[in-house]
A and B are shown apart, each in its own frame.
Chain A
Amino acid sequence: MSRFLLPLTIFAVVVGFLAVGLTLNPREIPSPLVGKAAPDFSLPQLHEQDKVFSPKDLAGQVWLLNFWASWCSGCKTEHPVLMQIANSGAVPIYGMDYKDQRDEALTWLNRWGNPYPIVGVDLVGRVGIDYGVYGVPETYVIDKQGVIRYKQIGPVTEEALAKTILPLVKELQAQ
């Protein structure tokens, strides 16, 4: 009788979903901004405080925006990878110092190295909110038209760099 098989069938479907669920990360929040224009901002720079940093200045090139802070341990983890990007010259990577103290940020960069041509200062995290930042580090790939194409949640790993970010950057630069 088919109706007696119904509970088993429903259960099988649920188990299928649960099995797939084991491969997912429920805590990760994908960004709704991918495919949308990068929110505009105009913030003072970290090193030259009287100068301003704005995404409009970077129109026409592909670039990375990396949210980081001196108090963030994940930022320390990804730092060598960021230095690698900066040294290779594949794509410029700009920094956003998120809810940090200026002198601590400067000390941190002096100590570990500075991969960023410019670092913006987001003192209260308002720009972070506009970008949907919910933790640091987070990195955005932005194309020539100023549209966000990809968001890396958490540290940029070698794997993410090689498999996702660099191929995407290459593709966007060819456009």
Chain B
Amino acid sequence: MIPEIGHFALILALCVALVQGILPIYGAAVGNAALMSVAKPAARLQFLLVLTAFGCLAYAFAAMDFSVLYVAATSNSQLPLHYRLAAIWGAHEGSLLLWTFILTIWMFAVTLFSAHLPEATRSRILGVMGLVSVGFLLFMLTVSNPFERLIPAAPDGRDLNPLLQDPGMVIHPPMLYMGYVGFSVAFAFAIAALLGGNLDAAWARWSRPWTTVAWCFLTVGIAMGSGWAYYELGWGGWWFWDPVENASFMPWLAGTALVHSLAVTDKRGGFKVWTVLLAIMAFSLSLLGTFLVRSGVLTSVHAFATDPKRGLFILAFLAIVIGGSLALYAWRAPKVGLGGSFAMVSREGLLLANNVLLVAAMGSVLLGTLYPLFLDALDLGKISVGPPYFDSVFVPLIVPAIFLMGIGPLAQWKKASVPDLAQRLKWAFGVSVVSALTLPIVMGNWTPMLSLGLLLAIWIVMTALVTLRERLTHITGSSLMERLASVPRSYWGMLVAHCGIAVFIVGVTMVKGFETEKDVRMNVGETTTIGNYTFRFDGAHDVKGPNYTAARGTFSVSRDGREITVLYPEKRRYPVQNQIMTEAAIDTGLLRDLYVSLGEPLDDGAWSVRLYHKPFIDWIWGGCFIMAVGGVLAISDRRYRPAWRRETQEAPAAVETARRKYA
């Protein structure tokens, strides 16, 4: 009964989505207020309906209703409750429902926080989101129905893939989808602006917080995916340039470019057309990612069960949505006026140089990901494009962008001078170069890449300090604390986010430069040493989990004779799918990770063991979280708070400053 309610809710949601997609946009085009006012209630109703459907599916999982095909395929009676619920998005159909559900969450958020927008704009935004939702609901109701029944019901389910039975599974997809799907708001803003024919700076100002929030979620989602792969997959890697990883990274790159481009359009009204194109690109890449993961055109460790019929549907949807928006762009964009002009060397110029580099980097990832497909389609052979390619091509493109990151915040708007910038940055540059060259030697291993990585990281931090210092000296105020407090949150957001990148770079550089690995055979009582750490194998015994049996090894880790921890790596066997999983044991530390994973049992009770010492590896994900914190700081800036919250004293002060400026 409950699954049928869920199914019916989806059908109703589709009807509402159609209404939401068509009427408000038409109403905005002809100026009909009644039609436009349909948008808000339709969006809210759709949210409630999809929430209902989601709840019904959750109930089916919680109650172990194996008469629902999807539940039978991805769950099992032995599976603990939290994983049964996470299994909702464990395979194709359910993850589509999650996608749609998150889209309706964003829709609902737009209805809450859009009071300051003109009615026509809001109608168009919700209308566009409604049309996107039509696509997904139609997809689910035709070829990917999560509520399809299995008659007769299965006695027990086929279980969730053991790889997914993990806390990371519970949070990574929702975070990722919040990011991916969140770019639909920026997209909708861009389409609304194109439809309305008015691309003024206000559009950029409205769009910014939405884009930044989506970007924060995507950053966290990707970081979690990487962290999860690290500890779950058992071979210590954290990024593989796998097609599905790339599918999430490309929108991130476009989104980062978009956040910066919006800053130019907001502040200076420049490059509106380019920003609109970027907004379309970011969401298009999200949709492309959805296609790549589910269509089977690329092999990936991550891909959902593939079916050409589904692939065709998504491709058609992609063609309509992206093709339609790019056609609209080609039609309307030429009519948009130009913004203010600025010199090549200026903050705008540097921000746009950043854009060019990020988009080139994104293009290289797209090229590498799709190239095997291109060659195969042209019958020119089958190749593989993997980490060696991406590392060789991506790094040279992103290094200049990171270097410019230090200079941008210091450059004046409209026109800056190179000698002046060089003068202000010479100290920071000098310190960065000297430390980057000497630190590796001090740490015991010098390579050019190591120095380059450290140079970039130190450069970011040094320039951030210089930027902050200059900013503080330009503020009047008595104490340092007062001056620090008066720096706007968005400024802090920028500094923190940039420093997050520095932390990330330190993590990557140090791990690549200094990690050590050992493959040994260990008998009970034997020890092995990595760096200062000694690992002693104290034997393995069998344990039983809720839906698995495992051999659990015990490793005592000591340093300088003192025991610091005991690690319990496991080799698990999940009987339902008959899969063997390696659960690595990791001792996480601020400055290093110790990673032990069991290989195979050898004769006479010994095991083959792989051990890693990975210095600074947690700085990789730490850096990503710091970036996201920067984003949150940026949107908590005073200017984004709802108008009725802002102090009315602010207005005269702003006016005074404006007066002084133009006098």
Direct contact of A and B (CB under 8 A): yes
Are the CB atoms of B323 and A24 closer together than 8 Å?
A: no
Are the CB atoms of A26 and B372 closer together than 8 Å?
A: yes
Residues of B within 8 A of A26 (CB): 296-299, 372-373, 376
Q: Which residue of A lies closest to B303 (CB)?
A: A26
Q: Convert A1-23 into 0s and 1s, putting 1 for each residue whose CB lies closer than 8 angstroms to a CB of B.
A: 10011011001101101111111
**B residues 295-344 with Cβ under 8 Å of A?**
295-299, 308, 311-312, 315, 318-319, 322-323, 326-327, 329-330, 333-334
Total interface residues on A, CB under 8 Å, equals 22
Please tell me if B360 contacts chain A, counting CB pairs below 8 Å.
Answer: no
Residues of B within 8 A of A24 (CB): 297, 373, 376-377
Are the CB atoms of A8 and B315 closer together than 8 Å?
A: no
Distance of B300 from chain A, by nearest CB (Å): 9
With a 10 A CB-CB cut-off, give which of A14, A18, A27, A29 has the most chain B CB atoms: A18
Q: What does DSSP make chain A's interface, helix, strand, loop or mixed? A: helix
Are the CB atoms of B322 and A4 closer together than 8 Å?
A: no
Distance of B336 from chain A, by nearest CB (Å): 10
Residues of A within 8 A of B373 (CB): 17-18, 21, 24, 26
Residues of A within 8 A of B334 (CB): 1, 4
Total interface residues on B, CB under 8 Å, equals 32
Please tell me if A167 contacts chain B, counting CB pairs below 8 Å.
Answer: no
Are the CB atoms of B382 and A30 closer together than 8 Å?
A: yes
**Contact status of A7 and B376, CB under 8 A, knowing A22-B295, A22-B311, A26-B298:** no
A152 to B323, CA, bound (A): 39
Task: Please pick, from A4, A8, A21, the residue contacting B377 in the complex, using a CB distance under 8 A.
Answer: A21
Q: Which residue of B lies closest to A28 (CB)?
A: B382
With a 10 A CB-CB cut-off, give which of A5, A11, A12, A28 has the most chain B CB atoms: A11
Task: Please pick, from A1, A11, A22, the residue contacting B326 in the complex, using a CB distance under 8 A.
Answer: A11
A30 to B380, CA, bound (A): 11
Q: Which residue of A lies closest to B366 (CB)?
A: A14
Residues of B within 8 A of A15 (CB): 315, 318-319, 323
Please tell me if B169 contacts chain A, counting CB pairs below 8 Å.
Answer: no
A7 to B374, CA, bound (A): 18
Q: Which residue of B lies closest to A6 (CB)?
A: B330
Please tell me if B69 contacts chain A, counting CB pairs below 8 Å.
Answer: no
**Contact status of A8 and B308, CB under 8 A, knowing A17-B370, A26-B376, A29-B382:** no
A24 to B312, CA, bound (A): 13
A14 to B382, CA, bound (A): 18
Task: Please pick, from A8, A17, A22, the residue contacting B330 in the complex, using a CB distance under 8 A.
Answer: A8
Distance of A24 from chain B, by nearest CB (Å): 5
Are the CB atoms of B382 and A11 closer together than 8 Å?
A: no
**B residues 376-407 with Cβ under 8 Å of A?**
376-377, 381-382
Are the CB atoms of A18 and B297 closer together than 8 Å?
A: yes
Residues of A within 8 A of B329 (CB): 4, 7-8
Residues of A within 8 A of B291 (CB): 18
Are the CB atoms of A22 and B382 closer together than 8 Å?
A: no
With a 10 A CB-CB cut-off, give which of A12, A20, A22 has the most chain B CB atoms: A22
Please tell me if B277 contacts chain A, counting CB pairs below 8 Å.
Answer: yes
A38 to B634, CA, bound (A): 66
Residues of A within 8 A of B298 (CB): 21, 26
With a 10 A CB-CB cut-off, give which of A7, A12, A30 has the most chain B CB atoms: A7
Q: Which residue of A lies closest to B319 (CB)?
A: A15
Residues of A within 8 A of B370 (CB): 14, 17
With a 10 A CB-CB cut-off, give which of B315, B323, B326, B327 has the most chain A CB atoms: B326
Q: Convert A149-171 into 0s and 1s, putting 1 for each residue whose CB lies closer than 8 angstroms to a CB of B.
A: 00000000000000000000000
Q: Convert B280-299 into 0s and 1s, putting 1 for each residue whose CB lies closer than 8 angstroms to a CB of A.
A: 11001000000100011111
User: Besides A4-B333, A11-B322, A26-B376, 9 other CB < 8 A contacts?
Assistant: A7-B281, A7-B326, A8-B329, A8-B330, A12-B323, A18-B297, A21-B373, A22-B312, A26-B299
**Cross-chain pairs A/B with CB under 8 angstroms, 11 sampled:** A4-B329, A7-B326, A7-B330, A15-B318, A18-B291, A21-B295, A22-B315, A24-B297, A26-B299, A26-B376, A27-B299
For the complex of A and B, the 7 pairs showing the least CB-CB separation, nearest first, are A21-B297, A8-B326, A20-B377, A4-B330, A1-B334, A21-B373, A5-B330
